[in-house]
Amino acid sequence: MEFQGLNNIQVEESRKKHGMNILHKNLPAGIKILRKLLGEPMLIILLLASLIYFFTGQLTEGIFMALAIILVSGISVFQEYRSSRAIGEIKKLTKAEISVFRNSKIDKIPSEDLVVGDIVQLSEGELIPADLMIIKAADCSVDESILSGESLPVAKSASDSLYAGTNIFSGMAYAEVKQIGLATKLGLLGKSMDEVEGGKSPLQYQIGRFVKYLSIFGLIAFLFVWYHNYKISGDYIFGFMRGLTLAMAVLPEEIPVALSTFMALGAFRMLKHNVLVKKAQAVETLGASTVICLDKTGTITENRMRLSQVLTVEEKEVKNFNPDLESVALHDLILYAMLASEPIPFDPMEKAIHAAYRKLNSGPAVESFNMLHEYPLGGKFPMMTHIHKSGQGEIFIACKGAPEGILNLCIKDNEEKKSFLRSVDQMTSEGSRVLAVAKSVKQKNEWPVDQHDFNWELLGLIALNDPPKEYIRDTIHKFQDAGIRVKMITGDYPGTAAAIGKQIGLINTEKFLTGEEVRMMTEIELKDTSGTIDVYARMLPEDKLKLIQALKDKGEVVAMTGDGVNDGPALKAANIGVAMGLRGSDIARQAASIILLDDNLSSMTKAVELGRRIFSNLQRAIGYIVSIHIPLISMVTLPLLLGWKYPHLFNPVHIIFLELVMGPTCSIVFENEPAEKSTVTRANRLKSGFPGMIRLGISALRGLVITVALLLILHSGISQGFSEDECRTLVFTGMVFSNIFLTLSVRSDVHSIFSSLKKKNFLVPLIILITSSVWIFTLLSPAMKELFQFELPEPGTIIGAIGISIVSVIWIDFFKVFRKEK
């Protein structure tokens, strides 16, 4: 073991002195919920109403309102607890781990457990968890843009500093922890690396603005009603209570509660399918995806390569790889391919090359070579070069990379070059990945700055086979059935990409675009072309970024998968960035909004289905809230404005009863609704607004029809000479039953109320049973009748009010029959 690291006693001593490696302390969940609860406008109104009832000697009403406060608070706490628990589970899985030397061995620990004095091992793509000092490094460069704003990576060597929040761009390093938590440079700048709860999503902004406008309207209406009633009665308290009643009717506090509940529980449901949602807006936009761009290696393919075919310059014939064949040319080809790979390979392709070299059973051992210099993977046609010294002192200069690039460096004759490219096409026709291998000799005492400046000699071609995963074709078809166009983006040779695309069932594999062609296109040209091309080959990170932007400009909602260090910009640019949890780099996981914990793409199809279900159910909940608030507001204001005989039917006790029904209905019942077939196969329309102008219009129309029905019930009662308490009973009954049937009606956009009863949701009959039971109790209990100021008219009159309220809801079922579910 190169480093001993701290022992357990030293770790505890350091932790006592310097604390934990965290940038901020989270408040306990209970305190967070309490603080949020105390800021709820509805709770403040209820407290005011309760205090006024007690102040004016109306003890029964005051006690009821106090109990209502407990109930409303209990429901809110329950919903917030469910949401915070779901978020908490997600946070546990987003905690980064780091390799650290302790007790003479290397372990993976959560980065927050690091202490000053620890020695850590960092490799390409990893986030730096604390402020460190490098002890030893190999070709290490760091992306410090989060602190400096400089986009180019900075080369690092022994004794250089590394800062928390930055990441290893290339190479590896061993470093000692110098500062942690708030003492780091990042901590002193006041930044946080908390990734789970980001800023507000577009829908949250829309809902916040909607609630804000309604709150302003509610305040104006409250002041108007207060003044109007005071002017008529001369009683401040009476006018104030009328105003509070209207304010309670106006406030749509269920909407933000429903949003937070749906998003948090939606993310938690996805977690059960190994889909980790880091950002709230991903739940909204996931179901809206119209295009998904897939990385080939590891996402589509098994990521378990084997060397399958070779072509040596000596024979110029494609052959299956046979390690038992005695051939100097074959030995040199595989030897130099191995030397151009990492000594300890991580990449599956390089692992396959090392395995092939070991099968040759000839030549010096890998361990006998000492790497002197490395040129990292780069260039228009990517290639990499390693310079080694053998145990006998011989210098080996080896490179491998894209055939197009290496052939250009090695061969000047166009016909010979075309011959090799035909061999490349032959090897890629079945989906194999092809690399060219070359060697050079040392010419000067110093190595050239650029690897292209060596005098290269071509050794041959090697083909590595990485077949598609067994389930991938079925997964692609599910995406397509859901209306999502699948595109494959890869750095591979075009022939390889096209062959794999055909195997997995992409729509258009006859045409493809290369990264070079993408770079040459204008934004408008790429925007016009991108809709029909499904295969993109030889793509560089900047090419991916340009393609993603073109698709977005075209109006597509784009999901993008990635796992590499250079995928970060494209993942951030996509509407939904999807990183791999097992093999993805820290940078990719940080940039992504979704992580596939098991690297299984089939999980995404379930996540899309859940995303569409969540969005659809949220729209239903919002539509329900709009529909039921319109008659609620109308019955508090219209009788007063119209100068009818009984202008003050509803008091705060009536409103809070209805609120206790509406809150759980929209945020608990609708959240549990199963998806309709049309929902699963249709993308959400994010651009249609909140919650969609057509849906909003239908919801408003529903509310207006219910309002007309309730006004009809009231007018009929007044015409028949009923007392105020009898009219109140009838209108309240109509309100309760229109609410019950509205709950059933909005469950489906295409099926009638009675058909929608077949949808399984045990909470629907439960909420109906509870609501009906409490309604009966308020009509029959003398104490409740006195509290609600009810008086029972003839049973036939009550049945008539129920019938009118039902008709005011089910009329829309006649229009549903004209809409056939797709």
Residue 565: band (very low, low, confident or very high) from pLDDT cuts 50, 70, 90: low
Question: What is the per-residue DSSP string for 141-208?
Answer: EEE-HHHH---S-EEE-TT-EE-TT-EEEEEEEEEEEEE-GGGSHHHHTT-----SS-S--HHHHHHH
Least confident of 11-20, 58-67, 584-593: 58-67
* Residue 157, pLDDT above cutoff 90: no
Q: What is the pLDDT of residue 198?
A: 43
Within-domain flag for 548: yes
Does residue 402 share a domain with residue 283? no
Residue 195: band (very low, low, confident or very high) from pLDDT cuts 50, 70, 90: very low
- Rounded to an integer, the average pLDDT of 475-490 is 91
Does residue 338 share a domain with residue 279? no
Residue 371: band (very low, low, confident or very high) from pLDDT cuts 50, 70, 90: confident
In the chain, pLDDT over 90 holds for what percent of residues?
Answer: 30
- Rounded to an integer, the average pLDDT of 50-54 is 72
CA distances from 813 to 710, 756, 806 (A): 20, 11, 12
Q: Tokens representing 511?
A: 């045409």
Higher pLDDT, 393 or 705: 705
Last residue of a domain, one of 407, 432, 465: 465
CA dihedral sign of residues 493, 496, 502, 506: negative
Higher pLDDT, 774 or 822: 774
CATH code of the domain containing 757: 1.20.1110.10
Q: What is the pLDDT of residue 4?
A: 86
Give bridge partners of residue 319 from the DSSP assignment.
310
* Residue 647, pLDDT above cutoff 80: yes
- Rounded to an integer, the average pLDDT of 236-255 is 70
CATH code of the domain containing 353: 3.40.1110.10
Q: What is the pLDDT of residue 521?
A: 94
- Rounded to an integer, the average pLDDT of 560-570 is 78
- Which of 31-45, 522-536, 606-620, 808-822 tops mean pLDDT? 522-536
* Residue 194, pLDDT above cutoff 50: no
- Whether cis (ω within 30° of 0) applies to the bond prior to 129 is no
Does residue 294 share a domain with residue 165? no
476's enclosing H/E stretch is: helix 472-481
Does residue 180 share a domain with residue 230? no
The whole-angstrom separation of Cα 624 and Cα 702 is 9
Does residue 700 share a domain with residue 797? yes
In tens, the pLDDT along 312-361 reads 999 889 999 988 887 889 999 999 999 999 887 877 788 899 999 988 86
* Residue 79, pLDDT above cutoff 70: no
Q: What is the pLDDT of residue 199?
A: 46
Higher pLDDT, 687 or 114: 114
Does residue 231 share a domain with residue 159? no
* Residue 205, pLDDT above cutoff 70: no
Does residue 808 share a domain with residue 739? yes
* Residue 586, pLDDT above cutoff 80: no
The whole-angstrom separation of Cα 820 and Cα 816 is 8
Within-domain flag for 112: yes
- Name the DSSP letter for residue 673: P
Does residue 688 share a domain with residue 751? yes
- Rounded to an integer, the average pLDDT of 218-222 is 75
Question: What is the per-residue DSSP string for 723-785?
Answer: -HHHHHHHHHHHHHHHHHHHHHHTT-SSS-HHHHTTS--THHHHHHHHHHHHHHHHHH-HHHH
Q: Which domain holds residue 337?
A: 308-465
- Alpha-carbon Rg for the chain, nearest whole angstrom, is 34
Mean pLDDT for all residues in the chain: 82
- Rounded to an integer, the average pLDDT of 633-643 is 83
pTM passes above 0.85: no
Does residue 657 share a domain with residue 787? yes
- Rounded to an integer, the average pLDDT of 425-430 is 88
Last residue of a domain, one of 161, 188, 215: 188
Q: What is the pLDDT of residue 248?
A: 67
CA distances from 481 to 119, 274, 819 (A): 51, 22, 21
Within-domain flag for 546: yes
* Residue 775, pLDDT above cutoff 70: yes
CA dihedral sign of residues 92, 98, 99, 104: negative
Q: What is the pLDDT of residue 506?
A: 92
Residue 663: band (very low, low, confident or very high) from pLDDT cuts 50, 70, 90: low
Q: Are β-strands 433-440 and 291-295 bridged in parallel, bridged antiparallel, or unpaired?
A: unpaired
* Residue 41, pLDDT above cutoff 90: no
Does residue 159 share a domain with residue 17? yes
Torsion, Cα 38 39 41 47, to 10 degrees, reads: 20
In tens, the pLDDT along 496-517 reads 889 999 999 998 888 999 999 9
Does residue 594 share a domain with residue 478? yes
Higher pLDDT, 755 or 746: 746
Q: What is the pLDDT of residue 488?
A: 93
The count of domains in the chain is 4
Last residue of a domain, one of 188, 211, 233: 188
Q: What is the pLDDT of residue 483?
A: 87
Q: What is the pLDDT of residue 150?
A: 58
